[in-house]
Amino acid sequence: MEKGTVGIAMDFSPHSKAALRWAVDNLINTSDRVILINVQPQKADHTRKRLFEDTGSPLIPLEEFREINFSKQYGLTCDPEVLDMLDTVSRTKGAKVVAKVYWGDPREKLLDAVEDLKLDSLVVGSRGLGAIKRVLLGSVSNYVVTNASCPVTVVKSSK
């Protein structure tokens, strides 16, 4: 089977963790490349942001992503639940796991990631906003589904 590149939007919320769990259980195949995509707010100020603000960070291997000091330089959360899922998919399916950090509007940056990383598919969580909130706030998942050049799976987490 041909190797694919699967992007997973990760802000460490319960919704994005549900999306990761779904991708691990249903989408990721042997030897796929899994890229965890984190978008930091534009106003965030981390040591690495100054270097990589325009292009996003280089790809961060799982081993480095796991190191708390390294993660802090990018403003990443070292979340044991997320690391456990990534370790499992790496170990059981031989998937190559990396992370990439962008700074700015999640809608725009996720579309940049689809192009930059040549994703075969993207998985995003849904906050399950009601219709009115979605109109006022704008849904990241809706925007990405509408504008991405690859298939996008939106995973709704159960309340």
Examine the pLDDT at 136 and tell me if it is beyond 60.
Answer: no
> Poorest-confidence range of 40-44, 72-76, 136-140?
136-140
Instruction: Report which DSSP code applies to 58.
Output: P
Label residue 20 by pLDDT band (50, 70, 90).
very high
The amino acid that residue 145 corresponds to is V
Q: How many CB atoms lie within 10 A of CB 50?
A: 8
Helical H segments across the chain, by residue range: 14-26, 49-52, 62-65, 68-74, 80-93, 106-116, 131-137, 140-147
| Structure token digits, residue 83 | 């690391």
Question: Which residues are within 8 A (CB) of 29 and not within 5 positions of it... i.e. 6 or more apart?
Answer: 1, 3, 4, 93, 95
Of the pLDDT bands very low, low, confident and very high (cuts 50, 70, 90), residue 134 is low
Q: Where along the chain do its domains lie? A: 5-156
Give tens-digit pLDDT for 82-130.
999 999 999 999 999 999 999 999 999 999 999 999 999 999 998 766 6
Nearest to 101 by CA among 46, 148, 40: 40
Q: What is the Cα–Cα distance from 137 to 146, expressed in whole angstroms?
A: 16
Average pLDDT, the chain: 87
Q: Domain 5-156, CATH 3.40.50.620 — does that match?
A: yes
What pLDDT was estimated at residue 68? 74
